[in-house]
Structure 1
Amino acid sequence: MKLLRSIAVLFTLICFNCESSKTYEEQIKKYKFYIKKTDSLIANEKYEDVFIYVNSAIEITDTIPIAFYKKGRAAYNLNWLDIAEENFTKVIEIEGEQSKTYKDRAKVYLKKKDNDFLDDINIYLKYYSNDDEAHVLKREYFEEREDFSKAIEEYNYEIEKHKDSIELYMKRSNLFYLNKEYDKALEDYNKVLELSPDNTAIQGKKKSLLKELNDHDNLLRCITIIIAIYVFYILLSFFVFKPFVIKKATNQIGGDFIIKKDPLIWLLPILLSLFVISLYFTGFIPNFK
């Protein structure tokens, strides 16, 4: 049935186009009919049928961008990304740098994981900076590539416009965490809890992060103490033990002699390192707070 319907449509269009003596007004009327038909087909998600009408419209004139745009939209929805890119490019060539179709082509590049996305979306935002969807696309692009700093910049822009958006603060806090900006993550957790005190998810994340930071701080202090102990022992060995041994040996034995190196100088750091590692993995790092 679908094949028969397509053949019937094609036959109608061929007959329509065979009339070579049509006036300019009639051609425009026909063009508008094709475009209106494509709008109906797109609305009903009959994307493949769109090509029959837009191609006929393009045969009438290829200087009007709307048919190329409709063709690009249909191709995009069918995931025919190369065809979508080709037609959106034609629209841009006709409309110039201020074409809104830069955003549509950027969506194609985003799906294709093509870095040209960034060029197109930046050109679009140059003229339509208040388009929220474009900023969302840009955030998704940076998050997908784990460029957390750039993604955070986009969230900063959105939060400036939506200062009470819990969702935005939650998403940005996650990026701060992934970017190891823990203080800023905590600030966003606190902001969310200010807006939504009973938010158990953020309460849990805040508690977990505070514990993680405390454990990290305790570990650093423990390592610092261990290093201090080792340095203290080296000083003690060279400036106290060694002179004492030499003096005692001279008094009791006399003559020349060689004192071997203190074995603890190289053994002690190994023992201390093993000690810290065992504390870390058993969860017995002292809490210095």
Structure 2
Amino acid sequence: MSSAAMSDALSPSPTGPFTADLRTVRILWRREMTRFLRNRARLVMGLAAPLLFLFVLGDGIGSAGGDLGHYQAFLFPGTLLMVVQGPAVAVGTVIMWDRQSGFLRQMLVAPVRRGAVLVGICLGGATTGALYALPVLALAGPMGLPYHPRLLLVLAEAAALAFALTALGVSAAVCIRRPETFQIVSGLAMAPAMLLSGALFPVGGLPSWLGAAVLANPLSYGVDALRRTMPAPDTTTAAPAWFHAGPEWWGWTPPVVLELALVVAPSLLLLLLAARRFSRID
């Protein structure tokens, strides 16, 4: 969408500010969808690295046999989270380049609420993340997970996590001015957060300092929510104890709804703060 068309689309609505906000959200969501549909190479590249983890690492460790035979199914939720976090970084990068090109300034001077602009961008990122998750969920059967209606709940959770991660990426992009700095910060933040989320290895029985880092990491609860919602592995042997190990608070396991809230709520707070920062024209 060109800058002139965007300016016309974000012009005041005669029906009231709420309708104008909904219109803004719809237009920016459609912009993200158009970018997604026109860049098929981005979809392929976004799926390549997580699927390499799933097939190469999963098959390699799972081939050791014994309890590790369930490892590929264990790795599946973590792979799903890796897939949906890609659009979050991509949306933040787009905001950085919009600032460099001056397109962001044109959106800021439009007579619409800044929060509506950010919500539209985040909803676009969440939808893109859900679309990325679909081909991964289609591989549930080969990974030893039965095709079950619960996979629809997993898709909904993946969309919620994609929205939260997109909100984090957008919040960082609003505060950081240089695209190169954003790339470095996002890489340094996401890599340890993913490693300490329980996506690649069980969190039970870890050293105290590492276990504390896992409990403090919001992504740990997102991965555990996905894993607990997944249907049980379709194998002849029962899953080992480490397969179901997740974050615990003094022996108590938080419910899935609370785990999702622990990921989404902080991102919404950061998005609110970013909207206040976003109101300042750079």
Fold-level match, TM-score > 0.5?
A: no
Question: Which of structures 1 and 2 has the larger relative contact order (alpha carbons within 8 angstroms, sep 6+)?
Answer: 2
Higher helix proportion: 1
Q: What's the TM-score once normalised by structure 2's chain length?
A: 0.26
Q: What's the TM-score once normalised by structure 1's chain length?
A: 0.26
